[in-house]
Amino acid sequence: MSKRDLKKYLAELNKEQLEEQIVELYEKFSPVKVYYDFVFNPKEETLLQQCKLKISQEYFPFKKLGRRSKPKMRRSVAQKYIKHFIVLGVDPFLIADVMLYNIEIAQTFASENIIKHELFYKSMFNSFEQAVIYLIANGILAEFKPRIIEIHNQTISQKWSNESEFNAVIERFEY
């Protein structure tokens, strides 16, 4: 069904029928429920704190039954939250905060642990590049520039093998 056909169908329904359909969609499909719950009660700060907790647990997991769990270091956890926040229409400043937090927590972990997997560094660079592109696209780069510079400085101080790639991104918006 095309969007035009849908609009035509909806125009034929009365208010009560429309309400019934929306309630049915709300009850039947979880994404619709999540969307309406957010629209009518946008607890962005709560969502942000839950998101940051989940991301930090990827690198610094809580102890389970007296023993420490192994860090999973999955970039995908943060990416899912970022995508979800974009779909919900969360404030771009909060989305940018999550993007940078993901890299910062990974760098904190890397400063305390030896990471042998080159894929970790490549993944963090991809996150960094996406964050900078997002900041530029939303016109909020200036507000986050100190954090971007600090992330780059950490790649230098931690001697990341792909530091030059981070540097190339920085040079693109500094000149």
pLDDT given at position 63:
65
Greatest distance between any 2 Cα atoms in the chain: 65
Q: How far apart are CA 85 and CA 163, in angstroms?
A: 29
E strand or H helix at 14: none
Query: pLDDT of the chain along its 175 residues, tens only?
Result: 898 998 899 899 999 999 999 999 999 998 888 888 888 878 888 889 999 999 999 998 876 656 667 888 888 999 999 999 998 889 999 999 999 999 999 999 999 999 989 999 999 999 999 999 999 999 999 999 999 999 999 999 999 999 999 999 999 876 5
pTM equals 0.81
Query: Which two tokens mark 148?
Result: 């971007």
How is residue 53 written in tokens? 């907790």
CA distances from 146 to 2, 16, 73, 129, 149 (A): 46, 53, 25, 15, 5
Cα gap 46→115, rounded to integer Å: 32
Contact 128, 103 (CB under 8 A): yes
Taking alpha carbons only, the member of 118, 124, 122 closest to residue 99 is 124
Q: Where are the domains of the chain?
A: 1-41, 42-174
